Amino acid sequence: MEEKTIQSNFIRNIVINDLETGKHNKIITRFPPEPNGYLHIGHAKAITLNFELADEFNGETNLRFDDTNPEKEEEEYVRSIIEDVSWLGFDWERLLYASDYFDEMYERAILLIKKGKAYVDELSSDEIREYRGTLTEPGKESPFRNRPIEESLTLFQEMKEGKHPDGSMVLRAKIDMTSPNMNMRDPVIYRIIHADHHNTGDKWCIYPMYDYAHPLEDAIEGITHSLCTLEFEDHRPLYDWVVRECEMESIPRQIEFARLNITNTVMSKRKLKVLVEEGIVDSWDDPRMPTISGLRRRGYTPEAIKNFCRAIGISKTNSVVDQQMLEHFIREDLKLKAPRTMAVLRPLKVVITNYPKDQVELLEAENNPDNPEMGVRTIPFSREIYIEQEDFMENPPKKYFRLFPGNEVRLKNAYFIKCNKVIKDEEGNVVELHCTYDPETKSGTGFTGRKVKGTIHWVEASQAIPAEIRLYEPLILDEEEQEDKDFLENINSNSLEILEGFVEPNMVDVKPQDKFQFFRHGYFNVDPKHTTKEKITFNRIVSLKSSFKL
Ligand code: ATP
Ligand code: MG
């Protein structure tokens, strides 16, 4: 279920004000990922914010690839980002690439040089760092800072023509080497990189820096509100400087908001990439990953993710959201949608000794007690069934109401059974139980003769479908990331458990991404990668219970 109640926030208030005062007639936002990895749930927050804000006020949102860094960017990432944004259910007005503006960015850089607002610097990158000063000390001017404009123009042209090697010179904005804001101390705006670009090939060997490129991209597209995360707050004076000094017609406004962090999760493409490259996870869409594609494969729905993003809200203070909140929203979404079924994850064979051999009867079971419209199904019952190993104890503690020798329990949707005999192997492991059933106690017949305290689930043995069932724990041990600790020291080596269980015969024709509630076990998704004609694999999305209160 999608709960689209609109929560106001400071950005929305700015937009309302800009429309009311006539500053803008229409708002245009953008989601500007760098295609250097797969999108994660943090990006979902930015996507939801940008698209829904524009949508609410009949504006537009562009999907723009911020592809100014050829060494880190790949076509595979472009494809995955397009897929993920569409899957979330958002339609962009225009799909754009920052690299399409390279010519214009170059022209604007020449304008800056001509105005005396940019110069070619031949200091090495180490020297540039040294000259920049510190937070307490002003920077020093480069000896190249006041070179003639003509000289900078010629050198910049030569940089573009490939006449100079990587790292030999850069173009810098000429602002203020004594500014208290380090970003304003003559930032580098172009560097030489002889690398193939996924979009422009070998046309360019100079590439603009983010702080120069991003404001121009926004201005070129007529973006009215450029929303980004808090770490760019200190870059805003530079953003405004670039728009102004490059004499852009349209003036975008940068507004910062707090990024999303979630407990027991790392949330940066750089770190997620390490997890993939080190083989700690199988791939970017491993169901343990906080990527959109990982969450999708785990079984999360777009509605759950968007409801989560709406609920966390937009603020100016960084905080860490409990991952249980995300789990809350998938339970909420699947409660009415996902059919119930019984699955045995760790099977123990039970023989019902007084049930006729060769008889199979069909019992009725509700598909979703919370949503009667989902109807009923039939499930087979016979002399041999599987139950869950943990639903039997030979020597139970007090208050154990499940099966033990001499005790009677209810089989969900079927009969009462009583345990009479425990069969063990040579090592003393319980391998089979012998029980008797009481035909009077059939579910749905209104039997009131006696009560039992425990209800357990089961699957009929002869028709049960073997299935692989994958259970997950958080990939990261510490709740919150520690600044001084390498996140790789914090990996949970028990984040995946693979079980061979059984599911109902009805599951024969499930399709990848079908979702179910396994009675007592939680919500499960049919894994699209591991499911074959021969074997169904389920991912546990989330268990049933949570102590989390919204
Ligand atoms: P990462 O560090 O994970 O690579 P990024 O900010 O470098 O993230 P971009 O591709 O540049 O990734 O991000 C695209 C947009 O998504 C940006 O506007 C950015 O501010 C936003 N964004 C990225 N991470 C988060 C997050 N955790 N919460 C909210 N917004 C985010
Ligand atoms: Mg980035």
* 42 CB within 6 A, ligand 1: yes
Q: Output the CA torsion sign for 350, 354, 357, 362.
A: negative
**Boundary (domain end) residue, out of 257, 287, 311:** 257
Which atom of ligand 1 is found nearest the CA of 227? 18
Closest CA to 304 of 263, 261, 335: 335
156 and 28 housed in the same domain:
yes
User: Which entry of 72, 132, 147, 259 is annotated as an active-site residue?
Assistant: 259
- Of all ligands present, the nearest one to the C-alpha of 266 is 1
Q: Residue 415 C-alpha to ligand 2 middle, in angstroms?
A: 59
Within-domain flag for 313: yes
- Of all ligands present, the nearest one to the C-alpha of 271 is 1
Within-domain flag for 497: yes
Q: Does the annotation count 269 as an active-site position?
A: yes
CA distance linking residue 308 with residue 480, whole number of Å: 19
48 and 162 housed in the same domain:
yes
What is residue 1's predicted lDDT score, i.e. its pLDDT? 55
* DSSP-derived pairing of the beta strands 515-518 and 522-526: antiparallel
**Boundary (domain end) residue, out of 257, 278, 305:** 257
Q: Residue 235 C-alpha to ligand 2 middle, in angstroms?
A: 14
Closest C-alpha residue for ligand 1 atom 2: 268
Q: What is the CATH number of the domain that holds 276?
A: 1.10.1160.10
CA distances from 344 to 348, 377, 500 (A): 9, 18, 9
- Of all ligands present, the nearest one to the C-alpha of 46 is 1
* 88 CB within 6 A, ligand 1: no
CA distance linking residue 141 with residue 50, whole number of Å: 40
Identify the bridge partners of residue 542 per DSSP, sorted by sequence position: 523
Q: On the CB side of 87, how many CA atoms lie within 13 Å of its CA? A: 22
Q: Residue 392 C-alpha to ligand 1 middle, in angstroms?
A: 49
155 and 210 housed in the same domain:
yes
Within-domain flag for 550: no
285 and 255 Cβ atoms separated by less than 8 Å: no
What is residue 6's predicted lDDT score, i.e. its pLDDT? 73
* 32 CB within 6 A, ligand 1: yes
Quickly list DSSP for 443-470. TTS---S---S-EE-EEETTTPEEEEEE
CA distance linking residue 135 with residue 429, whole number of Å: 68
Closest C-alpha residue for ligand 1 atom 23: 43
* 132 CB within 6 A, ligand 1: no
Q: Residue 219 C-alpha to ligand 2 middle, in angstroms?
A: 20
SS3 of residue 486 by DSSP: coil
What is residue 483's predicted lDDT score, i.e. its pLDDT? 82
Which atom of ligand 1 is found nearest the CA of 46? 30
Q: Output the CA torsion sign for 383, 389, 395, 397.
A: negative
DSSP state of 104: H
End-to-end CA gap in the chain: 16
What is residue 482's predicted lDDT score, i.e. its pLDDT? 84
Closest CA to 87 of 132, 47, 115, 131: 47
Kindly report the number of other CB atoms within 10 A of residue 435's CB atom.
Answer: 24
Non-local CB neighbours of 141 within 8 Å, separated by 6+ positions = 131, 177, 186
Kindly report the number of other CB atoms within 10 A of residue 463's CB atom.
Answer: 15
Output the six-digit token pair for 8: 């106001």
Point out the residues of the chain with pLDDT beneath 50: none
Closest CA to 30 of 187, 222, 300: 222
Q: Does the annotation count 34 as an active-site position?
A: yes
* 267 CB within 6 A, ligand 1: yes
* 229 CB within 6 A, ligand 1: yes
The type of residue at 319 is: S
* 268 CB within 6 A, ligand 1: yes
359 and 478 housed in the same domain:
no
Q: Does the annotation count 259 as an active-site position?
A: yes
CA distance linking residue 354 with residue 365, whole number of Å: 23
- Of all ligands present, the nearest one to the C-alpha of 35 is 1
453 and 492 housed in the same domain:
no
**Burial (Cβ within 10 Å: 0-12, 13-18, ≥19) of residue 91:** exposed
User: Which entry of 34, 56, 361, 468 is annotated as an active-site residue?
Assistant: 34
By most ligand atoms within 8 Å of CB, the mutation choice from 50, 96, 228, 229 for ligand 1 is: 229
Within-domain flag for 3: no
Closest CA to 160 of 207, 104, 199, 113: 207
35 and 143 housed in the same domain:
yes
* 46 CB within 6 A, ligand 1: yes
Q: What angle do CA 216, 221, 225 make, to 5 degrees?
A: 85
Kindly report the number of other CB atoms within 10 A of residue 220's CB atom.
Answer: 20
476 and 302 Cβ atoms separated by less than 8 Å: no
Which atom of ligand 1 is found nearest the CA of 47? 16
* DSSP-derived pairing of the beta strands 430-438 and 416-424: antiparallel
Quickly list DSSP for 137-202. S-----TTTT--HHHHHHHHHHHHTT-S-TTS-EEEE-S-TT-SSGGGS--EEEEE----BTTTBT
CA distance linking residue 273 with residue 277, whole number of Å: 6
Kindly report the number of other CB atoms within 10 A of residue 154's CB atom.
Answer: 12
309 and 352 housed in the same domain:
no
- Of all ligands present, the nearest one to the C-alpha of 43 is 1
41 and 116 housed in the same domain:
yes
CA distance linking residue 30 with residue 495, whole number of Å: 36
Closest C-alpha residue for ligand 1 atom 13: 33
Closest CA to 88 of 240, 302, 322: 302
* 259 CB within 6 A, ligand 1: yes
Q: Output the CA torsion sign for 439, 445, 451, 453.
A: positive
400 and 538 housed in the same domain:
no
**Boundary (domain end) residue, out of 401, 422, 457:** 457
307 and 382 housed in the same domain:
no
Within-domain flag for 549: no
* 228 CB within 6 A, ligand 1: yes
269 and 36 Cβ atoms separated by less than 8 Å: yes
Output the six-digit token pair for 10: 């400071």
* 33 CB within 6 A, ligand 1: yes
User: pLDDT (tens digit, 9 = 90+) per residue, 123-180?
Assistant: 999 999 999 999 999 999 999 999 999 999 999 999 999 999 999 999 999 999 999 9
Kindly report the number of other CB atoms within 10 A of residue 22's CB atom.
Answer: 7
Non-local CB neighbours of 384 within 8 Å, separated by 6+ positions = 349, 350, 351, 352, 460, 461, 462
Q: Can you give the residue range of the structural domain that contains 415?
A: 343-457
Q: How far is CA 41 from the centre of its chain?
A: 3
Q: Structural domain tally of the chain?
A: 3
Closest C-alpha residue for ligand 1 atom 8: 268
Using only the alpha carbons of the chain, give its radius of gyration: 31
116 and 147 housed in the same domain:
yes
By most ligand atoms within 8 Å of CB, the mutation choice from 43, 211, 255 for ligand 1 is: 43
Q: What is the CATH number of the domain that holds 443?
A: 2.40.240.10
CA distance linking residue 300 with residue 293, whole number of Å: 9
Within-domain flag for 1: no
Q: Residue 43 C-alpha to ligand 1 middle, in angstroms?
A: 6
Q: Residue 186 C-alpha to ligand 1 middle, in angstroms?
A: 25
272 and 290 Cβ atoms separated by less than 8 Å: yes
The torsion angles phi and psi of 292, rounded to 5 degrees, stand at -60, -40
Closest C-alpha residue for ligand 1 atom 3: 268
User: Which entry of 45, 172, 269, 470 is annotated as an active-site residue?
Assistant: 269
